[in-house]
Amino acid sequence: MSDNPFVFNVAEALRGDGAPITVTQTGPSPSRIGPVMIALPEGDEVEVEATIIPLGNGVLVDATMRAELTGQCVRCLKTLHPVETVRVEQVFSASDTFITGDDEVDEDLGSGDEIQRVVDDTVDLEQAFVDEAGLNWPFNPTCEPECEGDTDVPAPDGISGEEQDRVDPRWAGLERFL
């Protein structure tokens, strides 16, 4: 049995009475998930709640992951640990006829992407979450509501606001180029 929290067993949904099944799994993330500046680190715990909806020879999985991220404020470089969620919906086919059967799937399920397969009665949501988290989590994370010291930034020693506006004589000759 895999401890991958993104892999769900859908055997019951495929062979059951057609009722949706909701399962929550918790475990270490098999990979780093998120944009460059903030992410769920590989190995950190993530909770994934999935509702598995039977579709005949396939399933629609509606899932939400929740995790504490690790990142850095892009302004003051302080370490951030916000708790974020992201939701995905993905169709998985359990047979080849599922894809060609006209009655089985609406045209606009997914986004024209290739339909994923059920493998050994399991579905893997990792790639769907990687894609969605990359789009939804902040590219430029900052402290909330503001960085420490934001309201009172002292001027460097010995320089008053007035003097800061004056052009350094060494650069005066370059001023016409600015």
Q: Please report whether residue 140 would count as binding Zn ion according to CB under 5 A.
A: no
Structure tokens at 172: 């005066």
DSSP E strands, 29-177: 38-39, 45-54, 58-68, 70-72, 79-80, 83-93, 116-117, 122-124
Pick 34 or 141: Cβ nearer Zn ion: 141
Report, in Å, the least distance between residue 86 CB and Zn ion: 23
Report, in Å, the least distance between residue 85 CB and Zn ion: 22
Q: Tell me the β-bridge partners of 65.
A: 48, 86
User: Which residues lie below 8 Å from residue 83, measured CB to CB, with a gap of 6+?
Assistant: 66, 67, 68, 69
Q: Please report whether residue 143 would count as binding Zn ion according to CB under 5 A.
A: yes
Report, in Å, the least distance between residue 82 CB and Zn ion: 12
Q: Please report whether residue 10 would count as binding Zn ion according to CB under 5 A.
A: no
Q: Please report whether residue 167 would count as binding Zn ion according to CB under 5 A.
A: no
Q: Please report whether residue 38 would count as binding Zn ion according to CB under 5 A.
A: no
Report, in Å, the least distance between residue 143 CB and Zn ion: 3
Query: What does the alpha-carbon distance between residue 48 and residue 35 come to, in Å, rounded to a whole number?
Result: 19
Q: Please report whether residue 75 would count as binding Zn ion according to CB under 5 A.
A: yes
Question: Alpha carbon of 174 to those of 16, 148, 162, 166: distances in Å?
Answer: 78, 36, 21, 14
Q: Please report whether residue 32 would count as binding Zn ion according to CB under 5 A.
A: no
- The site map against Zn ion for 76-105 (x = CB under 5 A) is x-x---------------------------
**57, 35 contact by CB (below 8 A):** no
Report, in Å, the least distance between residue 73 CB and Zn ion: 3
DSSP code for 134: H
Q: Please report whether residue 73 would count as binding Zn ion according to CB under 5 A.
A: yes
The footprint of Zn ion (CB under 5 A) covers 73, 75-76, 78, 143, 147
